[in-house]
Structure 1
Amino acid sequence: MKFSMAGAGPVGQKLIKRDINVLSPSYAREYALVVDKAEGSEVWDVDGRRYVDFMAGVAVLNVGHRHPHVVEAVKEQIDKFWHVCLADFYYPQAVELGEKLQQIAPMDGRSRVYFGNSGTEAVEAAIKLAMYKTGRTRFIGFFGAFHGRTLGSLSFTASKSVQRANYLPGVKVYHLPFPNAYRPVLVQQADESYGDTVIDYLEDLVFRTTLSPEDVAAVLVEPIQGEGGYIVPAPGFFSRLRELCDRHGILLIVDEIQSGVGRTGKWWAIEHEEVQPDIVCFAKGVGSGMPIGGIIAPEAIMDWKPGSHGSTFGGNPVAAISALTTLQVIEEENLLAKADETGQYIMDALVEMAGRHPSLGDVRGRGLMIGMEFVKDRETKERAVKLRDHLIQHAFENGLLLIPCGTNSIRITPPLNIPHKLVEEGLHIFEAALTDAEAKCL
């Protein structure tokens, strides 16, 4: 699809033309937003236009753009030092962040933390640790998943074929249907037992015919699928998955890169399932935009030898202090409860909105990780891709920042501390854009 400059002002259009001449065409831009500055839950472009931010840098800015406490902490750290190399030396910022992550880890007992720079690096570390600990080389992933673009994590990523085209994945992964009750693939119509259906498929068919469970190092799964459409799993799925992993000596890795750090109203989305994972992958929202990611695992699992894995820049002191301060802000400002409260308000508003808009086929999510799926017909559930894309563009041109997910869905992921007046403003722009999209695309 040809990129459109619609919505960009003259200064923005000039910069986009320069961008096209110098930067990789692999960057898939959503629309012509050219950012000049941002604060809290608002963004301004280089032509002075203001936007309400319902995307937070793809669920990264959980405490908003440029939170003053984070800015102060980062400036103070830069005045001290900004690099040594955690793989070779020591500094308090990484230790203090590790201790904080231990406190909020979604598993009992003592845990350890490994730091990298991004989500895909976190997944790579989890893959390697699972191989190291179990001595096994096979893995299980899920269709619709997104875990990153480096070759190991790409082996699991299965949300868009373009992301895997022309690349040979680096790890052997067997993919299963994710327990999506709105679009089940193993039954014609899902009910409360669909989570069990997916696990039965794994046990009764996959393990019986193509994959021995004794060869599987780990299952890698998102507690809520992100790029795949913001899909909340069917009830009972995770408890069955945990029991299966325990029975076969398989590690359970949860990718909390998009869903973690308070996004769903709990520190980690897996806590909604009342299941403890073996390894947690984190990134995005933990650093308020500074590049940091990593994994958390119990001491008994993260017992690899010195030199088994490392990173030159992972957990650098500036990113570490930004992450530590972000976690402190979430606690001090009670943003877990705020995310739950604001998320429920938005969900209720969208459900009520669906009564007026037939294209709004499904509303789902937890906390401020909210997805909407758009259809041409609610009975057939035919995907309304053109309508979804028109809605996003129209909203952008009228001052609201949204991004897609899945084939025909939109995600809402504002900062956890977004003010109520901006929620109302954003929802008003959203419904106006939806009305326009339905008039032109249905």
Structure 2
Amino acid sequence: MRSLTWKGVVFMSLNLHFWFLSGWQPTKGVPVPHGVMASMLLARRLACSFQHSFRLLVPGSRHISQAAAKVDVEFDYDGPLMKTEVPGPRSRNAEAVHFFCNYEESRGNYLVDVDGNRMLDLYSQISSVPIGYSHPALLKLIQQPQNATTFVNRPALGILPPENFVDKLQESLLSVAPKGMSQLITMACGSCSNENAFKTIFMWYRSKERGQTGFSQEELETCMINQAPGCPDYSILSFMGAFHGRTMGCLATTHSKAIHKIDIPSFDWPIAPFPRLSYPLEEFEKENQQEEARCLEEVEDLIVKYRKKKKTVAGIIVEPIQSEGGDNHASDDFFRKLRDIARKHGCAFLVDEVQTGGGCTGKFWAHEHWGLDDPADVMTFSKKMMTGGFFHKEEFRPNAPYRIFNTWLGDPSKNLLLAEVINVIKREDLLNNAAHAGKALLTGLLDLQVLLPCPALPQPHPPWLPRACRTTLELFSMVLLVQQFGTGYAVSSLRGFAHAVSSAGNASPSLHPIPTPVPELLVLIFLILRHGLAMLAKLVLNSWPQAILPPQPPKVLGSTCWPWLSYLSIYLSIYLSF
């Protein structure tokens, strides 16, 4: 884990339907079980260790960086408050709804449900809340009389934009435009952003083939009956484990959960393997280089194969971090080489920043960490950006009106809110705040790794266990027993603090905090982590004896099991900590 970067730590994206309560205290007169007492002693050691490490990283002030402006946290609660189990009696629903929320009472990092439970929110509305609930700056903005018409009237922006629309775009989206992409098209959500980005890429590619001539009569006629040459048989290359949306084109590039795709017709588009790295990284450097090289070679092979099939790959789409697909990461070098492959074969390079954009990795756009010599061609965004859309290079600009179009093309009121969100991020120096928080979290987790050694596992390891499972933290990342039966045990044993997560992906807890943690909150992470992690260690070892580890992964693991101690370990541990 030593070679992990803080950008992945602070991103914290994920997956597991699970409500976890922590902060258990012994009842007077009731004997404390040996395992619980051990966890309490571990807690004290961990707290002291983390506080020492934290002081090394954080200046002596209330906020993470002395250079940062004061973070406005007065509107936030001082901690969680649980009144019922979650979901409570007023929230229970057998289908997708987790619980009903009281947004009038939700503030800052805390989400309140209709039963009055106040939870530290690590889900952030599927990673879409940029600076917390009911931020004072945003409340003030909507109360200003001059903004009333923007919120009341929603124009068809493609044909009847408001007078100040361009100025507002300059203040909001264009002020954070990624390097090399000066063009912008706004949308409403992540799926429609990717869907229209695909269309833009197809138009660009066909325009290259056609040259400077206009549409032929044959093209105009055949496109009306969904046939070539008017509808060329192009494709978009995506990666296994990716999630790019649920509309028809996006769904063809989404490969994270079967329930998203079952029964839906799709396209014959190439799917490349995404690297499955071994951890700790410093111990598997050679193997990981070989794994990334294998995946890149497969990308090139697929491009050639589909060209021969007359299904030319017009573009490659990739996420900086596969979030919904299981928190999968690759090195910066992998992405640089992928960009080179796209350029070599004349494919557009599309980066999907719907989940990673908005500052949650310590840079406004996660792909800025890659150090690309040649910027991406297209980049999509949504979620924390309050609106959807995509940036692109000049050469991808459609050559005629109405080619990329819908009724609203976004919402001016969201641009107004986004401009203020960006002001808050800059004024409170939240990007540096997120970077420092990530470093502090990683340091604390490394201390935790030393304090929680993994019990000896039988040799040889079953094939589904990682090659290097040497810490309890890593074992948790693999078995994830809490997904099936750990929840009830944990909830009944641990009381006092709470948080909200959800089943966003398929291999780790869903975790999307806003990028505004202050030192007190970071200390809270590890103070609460101590008991939850120790209790789950006991659960794992008692429920799954080492002597009878099965040759195949138990059903609780699903169909795949990732061999990592790293980001998944980090996400799970941070998840448990709250």
Distance 2:444 2:353 in 1: 26
Check 1:138–1:2 CA distance in 2 against 1; reply closer, same or farther (3 A cut).
closer
Check 1:8–1:302 CA distance in 2 against 1; reply closer, same or farther (3 A cut).
farther
Check 1:387–1:378 CA distance in 2 against 1; reply closer, same or farther (3 A cut).
farther
Q: 2:527 aligns with which of 420, 428, 432?
A: 428
In the TM superposition, residue 282 of structure 1 has moved relative to its aligned partner by 0.3
In the TM superposition, residue 227 of structure 1 has moved relative to its aligned partner by 0.9
Deviations 1:367-396 (A, max 9, x none): xxxxxxx98982797831323563697489
| SS in structure 1 of the partner of residue 431 of structure 2 | helix
The answer (yes or no) to whether the contact 1:400–1:426 under 8 Å persists in 2 is no
The residue that corresponds to 1:284 in the other structure is 383
Distance 1:155 1:385 in 2: 29
In the TM superposition, residue 220 of structure 1 has moved relative to its aligned partner by 0.6
**What does 1:271-350 correspond to in 2, within 5 Å?**
271-275=368-372, 276-287=375-386, 292-350=387-445
Distance 1:359 1:156 in 2: 38
The answer (yes or no) to whether the contact 2:433–2:515 under 8 Å persists in 1 is yes
The residue that corresponds to 1:59 in the other structure is 127
Distance 1:42 1:265 in 2: 22
Check 1:82–1:438 CA distance in 2 against 1; reply closer, same or farther (3 A cut).
farther
Q: Which has the higher contact order (CA 8 A, sep 6+)?
A: 2
| SS in structure 2 of the partner of residue 342 of structure 1 | helix
Check 1:397–1:254 CA distance in 2 against 1; reply closer, same or farther (3 A cut).
farther
In the TM superposition, residue 105 of structure 1 has moved relative to its aligned partner by 2.1
In the TM superposition, residue 163 of structure 1 has moved relative to its aligned partner by 1.3
| SS in structure 1 of the partner of residue 91 of structure 2 | helix
Distance 2:200 2:371 in 1: 24
Say yes or no: does 1:378 pair with 2:378: no
Say yes or no: does 1:242 pair with 2:314: no
| Paired residue type of 1:16 | S
Fraction of identical pairs, as percent: 23
| SS in structure 1 of the partner of residue 111 of structure 2 | strand
| Paired residue type of 1:194 | E
The answer (yes or no) to whether the contact 1:86–1:312 under 8 Å persists in 2 is yes
Say yes or no: does 1:91 pair with 2:154: no
The residue that corresponds to 1:181 in the other structure is 277
Distance 2:339 2:350 in 1: 10
| Paired residue type of 1:274 | G
Distance 1:348 1:417 in 2: 18
Mean CA deviation greater in 328-337 or 424-433: 424-433
Mean CA deviation greater in 131-140 or 190-199: 190-199
Deviations 1:202-255 (A, max 9, x none): 22x334545449811100100111112222213411111111111111000100
The residue that corresponds to 1:402 in the other structure is 501
In the TM superposition, residue 190 of structure 1 has moved relative to its aligned partner by 2.6
In the TM superposition, residue 406 of structure 1 has moved relative to its aligned partner by 4.1
The answer (yes or no) to whether the contact 2:91–2:115 under 8 Å persists in 1 is no
In the TM superposition, residue 410 of structure 1 has moved relative to its aligned partner by 2.5
Deviations 1:317-373 (A, max 9, x none): 22121112112211121111111111221222223223344679xxxxxxxxxxxxx
More strand by share: 1
Distance 1:250 1:396 in 2: 53
The answer (yes or no) to whether the contact 2:19–2:86 under 8 Å persists in 1 is no
Distance 2:531 2:328 in 1: 25
The residue that corresponds to 2:349 in the other structure is 252
The answer (yes or no) to whether the contact 1:58–1:413 under 8 Å persists in 2 is yes
The answer (yes or no) to whether the contact 2:501–2:511 under 8 Å persists in 1 is yes
| SS in structure 2 of the partner of residue 300 of structure 1 | helix
**What does 1:136-285 correspond to in 2, within 5 Å?**
137-169=234-266, 171-182=267-278, 190-203=287-300, 205-212=301-308, 215-275=312-372, 276-285=375-384
TM-score by length of 1: 0.82
| Paired residue type of 1:417 | T
| Paired residue type of 1:206 | L
In the TM superposition, residue 32 of structure 1 has moved relative to its aligned partner by 4.7
The residue that corresponds to 2:194 in the other structure is 123
Deviations 1:164-205 (A, max 9, x none): 111112x4421111123138xxx99833353333212222x3
Larger Rg: 2
| SS in structure 2 of the partner of residue 113 of structure 1 | strand
Say yes or no: does 1:69 pair with 2:143: no
Check 1:5–1:69 CA distance in 2 against 1; reply closer, same or farther (3 A cut).
closer
Distance 2:249 2:164 in 1: 29
In the TM superposition, residue 408 of structure 1 has moved relative to its aligned partner by 2.9
The answer (yes or no) to whether the contact 1:63–1:416 under 8 Å persists in 2 is yes
Deviations 1:132-172 (A, max 9, x none): 11126111000111111112111111111111111112x44
The answer (yes or no) to whether the contact 1:11–1:46 under 8 Å persists in 2 is no
| Paired residue type of 2:469 | R
TM-score by length of 2: 0.64
The answer (yes or no) to whether the contact 1:267–1:336 under 8 Å persists in 2 is yes
Check 1:208–1:114 CA distance in 2 against 1; reply closer, same or farther (3 A cut).
closer
The answer (yes or no) to whether the contact 2:19–2:498 under 8 Å persists in 1 is no
Distance 1:297 1:321 in 2: 22
The residue that corresponds to 1:364 in the other structure is none
Distance 2:365 2:454 in 1: 31
The answer (yes or no) to whether the contact 2:127–2:383 under 8 Å persists in 1 is yes
The answer (yes or no) to whether the contact 1:123–1:281 under 8 Å persists in 2 is yes
The residue that corresponds to 2:574 in the other structure is none
Distance 1:396 1:307 in 2: 56
In the TM superposition, residue 273 of structure 1 has moved relative to its aligned partner by 0.4
Mean CA deviation greater in 244-253 or 407-416: 407-416
Distance 2:434 2:177 in 1: 19
The residue that corresponds to 1:15 in the other structure is 90
In the TM superposition, residue 43 of structure 1 has moved relative to its aligned partner by 2.0
The answer (yes or no) to whether the contact 2:319–2:353 under 8 Å persists in 1 is yes
Deviations 1:84-107 (A, max 9, x none): 221221125642343243342223
The answer (yes or no) to whether the contact 1:5–1:13 under 8 Å persists in 2 is no
Q: Unmatched 5+ residue regions in structure 2?
A: 1-15, 22-81, 207-231, 456-464, 542-578
The answer (yes or no) to whether the contact 2:353–2:380 under 8 Å persists in 1 is yes
Check 1:430–1:401 CA distance in 2 against 1; reply closer, same or farther (3 A cut).
farther
Mean CA deviation greater in 207-216 or 310-319: 207-216
In the TM superposition, residue 11 of structure 1 has moved relative to its aligned partner by 11
| SS in structure 2 of the partner of residue 312 of structure 1 | coil
The answer (yes or no) to whether the contact 1:35–1:44 under 8 Å persists in 2 is yes
The residue that corresponds to 1:368 in the other structure is none
| SS in structure 1 of the partner of residue 269 of structure 2 | strand
Distance 1:320 1:359 in 2: 49
Say yes or no: does 1:101 pair with 2:196: no
The answer (yes or no) to whether the contact 1:192–1:234 under 8 Å persists in 2 is no
